[in-house]
Structure 1
Amino acid sequence: MKNVPEPQSAVPVEAPVTRIEPIDFSTRSVPVRNQFEAWRSLMSPVIDLDLAGDRDGGFDAEQRVWDVGGFALTRARLPADGQTRVWQHVRKNPLDHWCFVLVNDGTGPSLPGSPAEPRQLFFRSLGRPFDGAAKDTSVLTLYAPRELFGGNLGGIDHAIDTVADRGIGALLADYFLSLEKRLPDVAVEDLPNVVEATRAMIAACVRPSLDRIEIAQDAIVATLMERARVIVGQNLRSVTFGPDKLGQALGVSRSRLYRMFEPFGGVARYVHRQRLLAAHAALSDPANKTPIIQIAEGLGFSDASGFSRAFKQEFGHSPSEARLAAAVGAPIASAIRRMSGVGDVSTDFGELLRRLRA
């Protein structure tokens, strides 16, 4: 009897790992006299930017954007020419996001003749007025939608906006730097874990600042806003839900309700945007096979064409394009149009930030 060789066990083949890709922008491809306007256009979804000096003398700058899904991380390299840049948060239809800004982290050149500045970490609500000025040459910024933290950081709008670079505050700055370094090796499937770890780290480190809030009225307003967000989230599928019902549920007057939501463009605008975000989340879920029109109707949009127009105006792409990106398994950043024109890059950055959702 012949010896029959034993079957060889199959060697498992590892599935290819898809990694996130950054969006890069540089003014170097733009004529020198137009470089500042190119940068200004790039940042226009977030801030109104200007220079205290000459705009035509060149503005050699670059930015790398990492779309992590629940938040965005950006690194900006700016000219070390000593010119002061001035800005203010966008006043019309502002993003309901927080931004955490790390400057003087040792990754950029020092200004000629100037002593090294201490590392600083700030956080600000993009939905609230703010005017700033700086000469920083390297800035690391994390943009996160307010919903990422639920009610854990309800008083952040009224808290001290600087995280001390010592103790647990220094850990947060170190974490942001480590995150930037490690993101190129992170697989797309691991992004939810990165988002959760970052959410927990920020909440732990910012909390000491929130505990110093002493003005009772501010705490009351912050509590009301968090209640309002929960109520809106619970009623996104109600076609009759609006400012009147929200005011009744909160037990506040119509005028007070409108003052609360004034930074977000009003109550109706806020509810409308939350419905669009919910629709985008549903269409971005490859397991969700519900027809687009049913998703729209379920979120209070009775007119298909009106829904499509509002969706594209908010996110820069159509509902069907959002579903297609999910169906082919494209990373979030890869679904953004990669065009070389300045206006297109600015639009991509704005779309990314508007699409962020916990």
Structure 2
Amino acid sequence: MLEGEEADDETSSTPLAHSHFSVRDLPRRHRFEEWRESISCVFEVEAASDVRQENFKASVDGHLLDTVMLAETSSRQQTWHRSPQRIAADGMDHYMIQLFSDGNMATDQGDNAGVSPKGGLVVFDLSREAKSATNDFTNVSLILPREMVAPFLQAPDDQHLRYLSPKEPLVRLLHNQIATLRSVAPDMTTAQAVEVVPHVAGLVSACLNGTVHGAHSTKAGIPLATITLVKKIIEARLGDNRLSPAEIARHAGVSRSRLYEIFESYGGVAKYIRTRRLRAVARQLADPALAHRPIYDVALACGFENAPAFARAFRTRFDQSPREYRENAKALRRVDLSRRDTVENYEAWLHQL
């Protein structure tokens, strides 16, 4: 056998990377704090004092399937927050799809309010803030990089906190595939994962595109293709401070009244554009490679002309000044780096997908 063939044979038989975290063997008084520190790589969690003290449990059992992470998590009743500061620090731009085999999750965020359906799925956009609460639960999470799925989605920015009903056949199909992946992952090899992952991503795209229940509502009679085109025009010209509803309508080939109808559920065209610009600024402020760039230069490049108006809008959106946001992101990165030598594998994986 040739040397290259031996290497290929070794790769084909290499099991998936596996990580297991549990607080079971810790003294009870330390369990919740250890859990909170571990899961802080993605979420900030809180629990009532009686839950913390009464035999608190938490575990994460994960496998790395090439560029996708699959993890089963079990824990007690608690609240979860993916905050703007956490998002700024970790820079994660992923979709997370969860199924609950025990217990459930609930959110109360305006249009995103809901409860995870039994036998269904919940979708998170990890670049967006999320607040939720769970009772005692076990769930399975499939986490995929945005670039693996977004190019194939009809509405890539409208997936956050979608509750997908098991009434939909594609939801049942994806639910069953995630559950099956979880059961066979311990026996899979890295070579098998490389073959499987593209098909998993394809099914995720098909499910999110083809599911009616749980889709964010749009005005009747407006083709999804039109909405997608309008959003792409806005995204491509976020840095152009001359961007106006009239310009957008002209380039999209729709009337201004139709344009306003499209964005009514977002609070209007101007609010949607401002929100997208603020998110673009936040991403750049959290980027260590741009730490030297003056804040107002970042804002200007993202379409903001007036410094005081930008500062007010940023504080309203993120509950902190742009400077505080940048400093908080820097501080959280330092904490992450200081723990890198002792971090459980699943925490490191989440930041390396």
* TM-score, length basis structure 2: 0.60
**Which residue in 2 is equivalent to 1:237?**
none
* 212 and 47 in structure 1: CA distance in 2 versus 1, 3 angstrom threshold: closer
Say whether the 8 Å CA contact 1:228–1:250 is kept in structure 2: no
Q: Verify: 1:88 aligned to 2:81, yes or no.
A: yes
Aligned AA (1:201): L
2-structure distance, mates of 1:157, 1:252: 21
Query: Are residues 262 and 60 of structure 1, via their aligned partners in 2, closer, same or farther at CA, if it must alter by over 3 Å?
Result: same
Q: 1:37 to 1:93 in 2, by over 3 A?
A: closer
Say yes or no: does 1:15 pair with 2:9: yes
Partner of 1:46: 42
The percent of aligned pairs where both chains have the same amino acid is 20
| Letter of the structure 2 residue corresponding to residue 100 of structure 1 | I
Give the aligned partner of residue 192 of structure 1.
194
Alpha carbons of structure 1 residues 250 and 28: separation in structure 2 relative to 1, 3 Å: farther
SS at match of 2:54: coil
For residue 153 of structure 1, report the CA deviation from its aligned partner: 2.0
- Counterpart of 2:163 in structure 1: which amino acid? T
CA shift in 2, pair 1:131/1:29, >3 Å: same
For 1:183, the equivalent position in structure 2 comes to 185
Query: How far did 1:65 drift?
Result: 1.4
Q: What is the CA-CA distance between 1:219 and the residue it aligns to?
A: 8.4
The answer as to whether partners of 2:340 and 2:348 remain within 8 angstroms in 1 is: no
Shift of 1:102: 0.4
In the alignment, what sits opposite 1:266? 282
Residue 41 and residue 225 in structure 1: after superposition, are their counterparts in 2 closer, same or farther (change >3 A)?
A: farther
Say which structure is richer in helix: 2
Separation in 1, partners of 2:34, 2:146 = 29
Whole-Å Cα distance in 2 between the matches of residues 228 and 71 of structure 1?
30
CA distance in 2, matches of 1:157, 1:196: 21
Matched-pair contact (CA < 8 Å) for 1:22–1:66:
yes
The answer to whether the 8 Å contact 2:41/2:336 transfers is no
Amino acid at match of 1:102: L
Q: Structure 1 unaligned segments of length 5 or more: list them.
A: 1-11, 107-116, 232-244, 275-309, 318-335
Note the alpha carbon deviations across 1:138-176, whole angstroms, 9 max, x for none: 111111221111322252443571111132211111000
**Displacement of 1:354 after TM fit?**
1.9
In the TM superposition, residue 201 of structure 1 has moved relative to its aligned partner by: 0.8
Q: Which residue of 2 aligns with 1:163?
A: 164
Q: Is contact 2:120-2:172 (8 Å) kept?
A: no
How far did residue 271 of structure 1 move? 7.0
Deviation at 1:126, TM superposition (A): 1.9
User: Do the aligned partners of 2:119 and 2:172 also contact (CA within 8 Å) in 1?
Assistant: no
261 and 74 in structure 1: CA distance in 2 versus 1, 3 angstrom threshold: farther
Question: What aligned pairs does 1:189-338 form with structure 2 within 5 A after superposition?
Answer: 189-209=191-211, 213-214=217-218, 247-248=239-240, 259-263=275-279, 266-269=282-285
Separation (CA, whole Å) in 1 of partners of 2:133 and 2:225: 29
State whether residues 315 and 355 of structure 1, in contact with CA within 8 Å, keep that contact through their aligned partners in structure 2. no
* 1:121 counterpart letter in structure 2: L
Q: Which amino acid aligns with 2:93?
A: D
Contact 1:128 1:263 in 2 (8 A): no
Q: TM-score of the superposition, structure 1-length normalised? A: 0.59
Report Cα offsets for 1:314-339 as digits up to 9, x if no partner. Answer: 9978xxxxxxxxxxxxxxxxxx9784
Q: Distance in 2 between matches of 1:138 and 1:144?
A: 20
Give unmatched runs, 5+ long, in structure 2: 104-116, 246-269, 291-329
The one-letter amino acid of 1:134's match is T
Paired residues, what number? 257
Q: Distance in 2 between matches of 1:197 and 1:182?
A: 16
Give secondary structure in 1 for the equivalent of 2:17: coil
Give the secondary-structure state (helix, strand or coil) at the position aligned to 1:151. helix
